[in-house]
Structure 1
Amino acid sequence: MKKSGFRPSAWVFSLSLLLGAAGQPREQNPPFTLTPDQSEALARISAGSMRGHLSFIASDALEGRDTPSAGLEIAAEYIAAQFRRSGLEPAGDDGYFQSSRWTMISPNPKNFRFTLTDSGKTLDIPASKFSMLGIGAASLDRVAVVKIPFEEHSLRVTGAVEGKAVITELPATAQEPPAASQVSRRRQEFINRVAALRPAAIVGIDRGERRDSGYFSSRAVRHPQFVGLVSVPAPPLRITVDDASVNAAFDAMAPGDTHATISLNLSAPLTQEAVLRNVIGLLQGSDPVLKDSYILLSAHYDHLGTRPQLEGDNIWNGANDNGSGTVSVIEIASALATLRERPRRSIAFVAFFGEEHGLLGSRFYAKHPVFPLEKTAAAINLEQVGRTDSPEGDQHGKARITGFDYSEVSKVIRAAGEQAGISVYKDGETSDDYFSRSDNQALADVGIPSHTLCVAFDYPDYHRPTDHWDKIDYENMARTDRMVALALLMLAQDADPPRWNANNPRAARYLKAREEKHPETQR
């Protein structure tokens, strides 16, 4: 692989030589001149250092950093220790920690029973083969079953469906993101159309799709949902089954009314309390005025935990997702903390919990900001920056940004990429769609110009137990992180904060939120 060439003595030099390597610089973004002090700081970002951090963060000892879990707590302590080692100021309510209390609910296996009776034979479906949307008590008593083939419903069956249980076979989900989105959309559209016919329940036959995610499986119990975010079961109940005996019974049914009935008994859920923590360190700015405004660099440090019921590798280590972003925040913070002359604005480094459960940590931060929202100029969120092998092709020397045209932050990152020889580009298929899939969304919702930077959205081990630390391209990650550090300096040194794009309708809601918090930044 081509060397990055980031030697302290050559940094300013190499920037000028690399201008234009990823396209011509924009006129509104002239090259940013680094001081020798800044050059030395960026050169400290080390592939070897990040390999060391990630080999621990993504090790089996942390058991996949589920939310909540002992492994997540260990990761939080490790991140805080690295912030402390770098000399960052603690910025939480408890040292480096912003703590929050959560009530979690999980399925209650007591008295569970789900049966399908057909032609006098009753099938008891194991709890591990049963899934349902929402968590809560539910009951069905010998409800008649109607079979409707996928995408073949019509208005003529309306009368026969109301109050009954519709059983259908759902198509298998695809592995690749674009195809997976299409299948997911088709499934949801069909379920919504059937739901409009007012059945008591919709039972989806999902062959092989949920073997590790049944309602009472280890995954469900170890992934409790959170009060206020979880849906409560309501008619029609949306049930998914993967059971060989039920599959056979389904195959034998003719479309339309059947002789089958289903029954369900589901107890109220279990509850437990947990304390979850964001980790926040601050590099104080130097300008008498601008030091009270902030640039955020963030990444989520949680992943998907374990599946003890599976044979073989059953730990979802999450090295790239998002151990890579986590150790990048650690490494960039460590490098910039060595600056003898601090940036004009303050830079906050944040590790969020619970992204995999629905942006929990970032949404908590947005509701309880450590730094005033109106004083937070911009945020860059790092997600999956370690892998360069992708079905979309080799990703060396490339980075993409979600919501690319939404704000001026992207222009700053692209300018940093031009100076560092990295192609920062808009992915036409994913830039807008993926804006909501990481923690930048929670910050954007409260008006902060915020984007996620990623090297490869799709890679072979995404959300699989094979996402291991030894598959990371550390040299490319270090190169990417130097560019991110440069972008942070550019944002922190500029007296004018970046603005939302008033000409992009997709950014309108974020612009409105920004104007409500800090109107002068959009003038």
Structure 2
Amino acid sequence: MCIRSLLLFSFFCVSFFPATSQNLKLDKDIKTALSKVDTARIKRDIKYLADDKLKGRLPGKEGYQMAVDYVVSQFKQTGLTPSGDHGTYLQKLILRKAVINPLVSSAALKDKNGNEDTLGLGKDIALFPNAIQKKVVVEAPLVFAGYGIDVPGKYSDYEGLDVKGKIVVVLSGAPKGLKLPSSIEAHFGSPTAKIRLAAAKGATGILISTDSPASVMALGRGINVAMDTAKTVATGSNAIGKLQLGARLTYAGLLRIFMNSGKNLKQVFTVLEQGKPSSFELPLSIRVQYTSEYKDIESYNVIGKIEGTDKTLKDEYVIHTAHLDHLGIARPVNGDSIYNGAHDNASGVASLLEIARIYKSRGVKPRRSVLIVMTTSEEMGLLGSAYFAAFPTVSKSQIVADVNTDMPTLIAPLLSVAPLGAEHSTIEKSVDFACAELGIEKQKDPMPEEARFVRSDQYSFVLEGIPALHIKYGTKTLDPSFDLVKFTKQWRDANYHRPSDEITNGFDFGAAKKYVQLNFLISYSIAQTTERPKWNAGDFFGQTIR
């Protein structure tokens, strides 16, 4: 082959053969950039964000604003392009606390003869406040819909059941007999999924049974949602959407509903736990009237952009998310009332700030654009991410993936990871690429019972149909006899959502460096790969989430 032909062939290969994560190669400059991840700077960022003077970074308080200002200053120093509202780094949203006024609220069952049986608020039933409509009066027939789930082609609690204009009664959680993958089981076990599905089926409301007194008490204290600035749309894990009624039933309340149904509740439980549906109409209706009261505050997501270099792909976006908020000042433990949130999630924010520096300060040029999004109010119910995913500051159709970072738990060498959610889409190939480059072992979720897939910001993107993942630690250790899962659980029980979550508590900054390198390589791989990520063929989330 002549030199001219060889040069043309080389150009053709580089310019027209689509890049994939399998054939992506790291050049010397990128490897050098990775080697320069600065743990001193990561520690500095965590130390500032988790300092007592920020008072736990509670949204609406001065400490959260200090955290916002710090991130904005770091974005400016690093050279990120503002990608919030009106040419700023900030996306404003309204955080609404909604509570039920018990003095003008009531709930009662009614049989076919018109006899009423009053349900005790907080004893038998706890109502979700309505964040849009202050006063609601609703009366509708009740139907029992098992666990309130629908797995296409496998199982449905709604099959053959007409719920239009009715109120569905469902159990919390998901049936073990179905043996669903942990991420799908976590999805179906979440109230968010049950509420969304009931609304999609045409129901007027939903009553979710629970054996957790804490969840009933929590509803009594109200819910938090994110509102658009016009205050006409509510988002977040506690929003009831188009439903008129959402509520939790205590076991006592569920028993009262089943008392005259002609059905044996224990037998129904047995059938459902075998992975078989058991759904039917109930010979009752329910009448509920309630009034919600509101308190609104302003808060902000913080958003910066690394501009892509490809003339076509630069209009598509890979998102990095980490929540900036924590719990503020709360119940004292050992004399300390400031919930600093060093691990949760100052460490995640610091990781993203260092990833931004890899891209900008060290000359790494992605083909797609990359957004660094620090979200507000994750601790209140994924509110900031739910708002951004529903109302992004860029075209939603151009967002290709979210790589979320929440509480990396950097307390031991990072030898393996569990990429929660990656198995549902082609972004798993980018995880494989990044793990191979760093010699990290990829594992399945070692704690499926924790339902972590639906408890952090990546879930907000999944609910909007966008492939997403959350990298969590794995189980591999240098000493095979050391039980890292047990050690981590003990550490979490002692420090998670406790004032002891401070910069002085257990950080392994070697693990921090590797965690930053890993998450950077995942987003870089997605940014460089010509084909945008897609849900795997036949995948549940790809089929059902729109």
SS in 2 for 1:369: coil
Distance 2:460 2:499 in 1: 27
Picking from 29, 38, 43, the partner of 1:46 is: 38
Q: In the aligned structure 2, how far is the partner of 1:236 from the partner of 1:383?
A: 28
Any residues of structure 2 matched to 1:408-487 within 5 Å, and which? 408-427=426-445, 429-430=447-448, 433-455=451-473, 458=489, 459-460=492-493, 461-470=495-504, 471-487=506-522
Where 1:42 maps in the other structure, the secondary structure is: helix
Q: Output the TM-score relative to the length of structure 2.
A: 0.60
Flag the 1:463–1:341 CA change in 2: closer, same or farther, 3 A: closer
Unaligned runs of at least 5 residues, structure 1: 1-27, 112-130, 139-177, 186-201, 241-266, 390-394, 514-523
Q: Which amino acid in the other structure matches residue 391 of structure 2?
A: H
Q: 1:85 aligns with which of 60, 77, 80?
A: 77
Match of 2:67 in 1: 75
Q: CA deviation at 1:55?
A: 0.8
Offset from partner CA, 1:300-325 (integer Å, 9 cap, x none): 11122221566612222222122211
Q: Offset of 1:430 from its aligned partner?
A: 2.4
What amino acid sits opposite 2:523 in the alignment? L
Instruction: Rate the CA distance shift 1:288–1:404 in 2: closer, same or farther, 3 A.
Output: closer
> Could you list the per-position Cα deviations for residues 56-89 of structure 1 after superposition, in whole angstroms to 9, with x for gaps in the alignment?
1112222222233222221111111111110000
| Residue type at the aligned position of 1:285 | G
In the other structure, the counterpart of 2:15 is none
Paired amino acid for 1:463: H
Q: Normalising to structure 1: TM-score of the pair? A: 0.62
CA contact (8 A) 1:386 1:474 kept: no
Distance 2:101 2:308 in 1: 51
Q: Which residue of 1 aligns with 2:378?
A: 355
1:496 is aligned to 531
Aligned equivalent of 2:540: 505
> In structure 1, what residue type is equivalent to 2:531?
D
What is the deviation of 1:504? Answer: 2.9
Secondary structure in structure 2 of the residue aligned to 1:328: helix
Whether the aligned pair in 1 keeps the contact of 2:333 and 2:499 (CA below 8 Å) is no
Match of 2:97 among 99, 104, 121: 104
Q: Aligned equivalents of 2:541 and 2:210: distance in 1?
A: 36
* Equivalent pairs, count: 376
* Residues 414, 425 of structure 1: 8 Å contact kept: no
Q: Tell me the secondary structure at the aligned position of residue 84 of structure 1.
A: helix
Matches within 5 A, 1:42-191: 42-94=34-86, 95-105=88-98, 134=128
Structure 2 stretches lacking a partner, 5+ long: 1-19, 105-124, 136-181, 190-208, 228-233, 253-289, 475-487
CA contact (8 A) 2:403 2:458 kept: yes
Deviations 1:13-35, CA, capped at 9 Å, x for gaps = xxxxxxxxxxxxxxx85464222
Query: 8 Å contact 1:105–1:226 — kept in the other structure?
Result: no
**1:355–1:361 CA contact under 8 A, matched in 2:** yes
Check the 8 A contact 1:133/1:239 in 2, yes or no. Answer: no
Counterpart residue identity of residue 345, structure 2: N
Aligned equivalent of 2:345, options 319, 322, 330: 322
- Go from structure 1 to structure 2 and tell me whether the alpha carbon gap of 1:385 and 1:284 turns closer, same or farther (over 3 Å shift): same
Residues 1:413 and 1:431: Cα distance change in structure 2 (over 3 Å): farther
- Cα distance change, pair 98–73 in 1 and its aligned pair in 2 (3 A): same
Query: Match for 2:394: what amino acid?
Result: F
Deviation at 1:279, TM superposition (A): 0.6
Q: Which residue of 1 aligns with 2:423?
A: 405
Secondary structure of 1:45's counterpart equals: coil
SS at match of 1:374: helix
Distance 2:334 2:326 in 1: 20
Partner amino acid for 2:89?
Answer: Y
Q: 2:96·2:224 contact (CA, 8 Å) conserved in 1?
A: no
Identity percentage over the alignment?
A: 27
